[in-house]
Amino acid sequence: MTERIGYLGPAGTYTEQAALLYAPDARLAPYPTINAVGTAVADGELDAGVVPIENSLEGSVTFTLDLLIAQPGLSIRNEVVIPIDHYLVAPPGVSAAAVQVIYSHPQALAQCRAYLETRFPSALSEASLSTAAAVADMQASPVPAAAICPQRATELYDVQILARGIQDNTVNQTRFAVLAHADHPPTGHDRTSICFAFAVDRPGNLYHSIGEFARRNINLVKIESRPTKRELGRYIFLIDCQGHRAAPEVAAALDGLRQRVDMFKVLGSYPFWEPHES
Amino acid sequence: MTERIGYLGPAGTYTEQAALLYAPDARLAPYPTINAVGTAVADGELDAGVVPIENSLEGSVTFTLDLLIAQPGLSIRNEVVIPIDHYLVAPPGVSAAAVQVIYSHPQALAQCRAYLETRFPSALSEASLSTAAAVADMQASPVPAAAICPQRATELYDVQILARGIQDNTVNQTRFAVLAHADHPPTGHDRTSICFAFAVDRPGNLYHSIGEFARRNINLVKIESRPTKRELGRYIFLIDCQGHRAAPEVAAALDGLRQRVDMFKVLGSYPFWEPHES
């Protein structure tokens, strides 16, 4: 049966591009928010959902972290990493010289700031709700306009490409999480995401906790903290470590950690993303 | 001489409220972005600048963390914590029953979602660039509108207050950092913020680093990571610990840490915020 996969919409965004790369043959459906994707997966309306979790320039997507912490019945089953490659597009017939306004998501505008200042010093930057919505905003503009959008949007809309690769920093990648009811079986090149919290703040709490990994020579790939939303200065910690939770050393570290903390949740074990040859 | 203090504007926001609480007699000036405040302090145009650094529901303000990491000549000199207390306002003569649109910053709208759904089920929510800009958007609205804003905005604009304390979660506080050329002398109840990074990823890196604090019984108040912006999966760590950097135990821990890492910066030592009696 064809898998039903939701993603943070609308169509034409980088998240749709990630979903298509992950599951080209699935039935894809856009959802309006990260929470809506998570709820639809947890409720069984979807087999899986694709949401952004981290960008190499912006850092973590906190909505996704908070969803993983709070929503039962949700695991990370896979990750997908794609390069962020911004296209500059205009309606057919509008030349670059005529452009007076440039629409995009604020992050995309910020990531192309030097390019825009050099090439379009007198054009206004206007914020859109997504990189795909920017194309619609451009089409509705009363003055000659352009939009910054993903390659995928150039396939869906009637636009001409003025330029590509216009981002100032070339190291711009986004990691997406594929959320499902269960995580992934071991593959031999896996990562595990967990979260935990302490009821009482004591010196050395975190030190002794991550010692469970250090002592077993397990590399921590990432550590984050998120507010508990109950008191300023109290946190839930999120850790990504190397290895699958079913691997004996990782299982022992997780067991050791579980006994030191007051809240503990495995968010999932899943294979590292390896770029497709295409 | 009167201190010149900048803040993330416009006037009428929670940041202005924090700046007024911190320095009621200073010459205050709004700046358009967090980076603009930081640059003006580093350049000597301002004696200090007030920017948000953390909210109890949303977590860290990443623009401020990235500024502290990257901008030389900037230290945290103080912190200010204020409760976020959202007011619902309308133009004089507009009744709550007539309101069709409610403007605010997306975070403020999200923090009042349950209230709005119960009391204004058919009103549209519209995003504004700040809680103060929401009041201007409301005043310019062609249909009867309301805005969610701080108490400070109700003093600056001609509005009537329909309700106050409309946030769904009552534990909603924001911590602001006062940025200056130098940090604060010891007061006996201080905190120190630092950042550091490793050139090479090795198991136990972070564990041995924070061991410098644990072994000296120094409590870590907070740990965060931010992308290096050079490669997905490489991070700069930010830690807040108890005590002043001039205190012998803290100084020894910082020296120990410095020798274990490849990038190290003290962001400042400053007194804990203690609520004013007012």
Quick: pLDDT tens for A39-76: 999 999 999 999 999 999 888 998 899 999 999 999 99
Residue B276 has pLDDT above 80, yes or no: no
Of these residues, A15, A39, A154, A174, which one is catalytic?
A: A174
Contact B201 A219 (CB under 8 A): yes
For chain B, how many helices (H) and strands (E)?
A: 9, 15
Chain A residues 123-182 with CB within 8 Å of chain B: 169, 171, 173, 175
Closest CA in chain B for residue A82: B232
Q: What is the pTM of this model?
A: 0.88
Within 8 A of A218 by CB-CB distance, chain B residues are: 203
pLDDT number for residue A278: 45
Which residue, among A51, A273, A20, has the nearest Cα to B232 in the 3D structure?
A273
pLDDT number for residue B107: 83
User: Are the beta carbons of B259 and B209 closer than 8 angstroms?
Assistant: no
Residue B219 touches partner A, C-beta closer than 8 Å? yes
pLDDT tens digit string along B134-147?
A: 999 999 999 999 99
- In chain A, which stretches have pLDDT less than 70? 276-278
Is residue B185 reached through a cis peptide bond, with omega within 30 degrees of 0 on the bond before it?
no
CB burial of A82-98 (b: ≥16 within 10 Å; e: otherwise) equals: bebbbbbbbbeebeeee
Q: What share of chain B is helix, strand, coil (3-state, %, to 5)?
A: 30, 35, 40
Sequence-distant contacts of A225-229: CB under 8 A, at least 24 apart:
A225/B59, A225/B222, A225/B223, A225/B224, A226/A62, A226/A65, A226/A66, A226/A69, A226/A195, A226/B59, A227/B54, A227/B55, A227/B56, A227/B57, A227/B58, A227/B59, A228/A197, A229/B56, A229/B57, A229/B169, A229/B171
Q: Does the active-site annotation cover B174?
A: yes
Contact B203 A224 (CB under 8 A): no
Contact B223 A217 (CB under 8 A): no
Residue B163 has pLDDT above 50, yes or no: yes
Residue A119: half-sphere exposure toward Cβ, Cα within 13 Å = 20
Residue B277 has pLDDT above 70, yes or no: no
d(CA A277, CA B246): 55
Q: Does the active-site annotation cover B264?
A: no
Smallest Cα distance from B95 to chain A, Å: 31
Smallest Cα distance from B202 to chain A, Å: 7
Contact A217 B203 (CB under 8 A): yes
Of these residues, A176, A196, A213, A237, which one is catalytic?
A: A176
Smallest Cα distance from A218 to chain B, Å: 6
Contact A217 B202 (CB under 8 A): no
Compare CB distances from A229 to B56, B206, B229 and report the shortest one's residue.
B56
CB pairs under 8 A between A and B: 108
Of these residues, B13, B131, B174, B192, which one is catalytic?
A: B174
d(CA A247, CA B23): 56
Confidence bin at B278 (pLDDT 50/70/90): very low
Compare CB distances from B214 to A204, A224, A225 and report the shortest one's residue.
A204
Closest CA in chain B for residue A55: B232
Average predicted confidence (pLDDT) for chain B: 93
Instruction: Look up residue B194 and give its DSSP letter.
Output: E
Of these residues, B120, B176, B196, B237, which one is catalytic?
A: B176
Residue A223 touches partner B, C-beta closer than 8 Å? yes
Supply A229's token pair: 């939303």
Lateral strand order in the sheet of A235-242 = A220-227, A235-242, A190-197, A263-271
Within 8 A of A235 by CB-CB distance, chain B residues are: 222-223
pLDDT tens digit string along B59-115?
A: 899 889 999 999 999 999 999 999 999 999 999 999 999 999 999 988 899 889 899
Within 8 A of A207 by CB-CB distance, chain B residues are: 207, 210-211, 213-214, 220
Residue A113 touches partner B, C-beta closer than 8 Å? no
Q: Best of A58, A128, A170, A207 to disrupt the B interface by mutation (most B CBs within 10 Å)?
A: A207
CB burial of B32-61 (b: ≥16 within 10 Å; e: otherwise) equals: eebbbbbbbbbeeebbbbbbbbbbbbbbbb
Domains annotated on chain B, with CATH: 1-83+173-182 (3.40.190.10), 87-164 (3.40.190.10), 184-278 (3.30.70.260)
Q: How many CB atoms lie within 10 A of CB B24?
A: 8
pLDDT tens digit string along B187-200?
A: 999 999 999 999 98
pLDDT number for residue A277: 46
Instruction: Look up residue A89 and give its DSSP letter.
Output: E
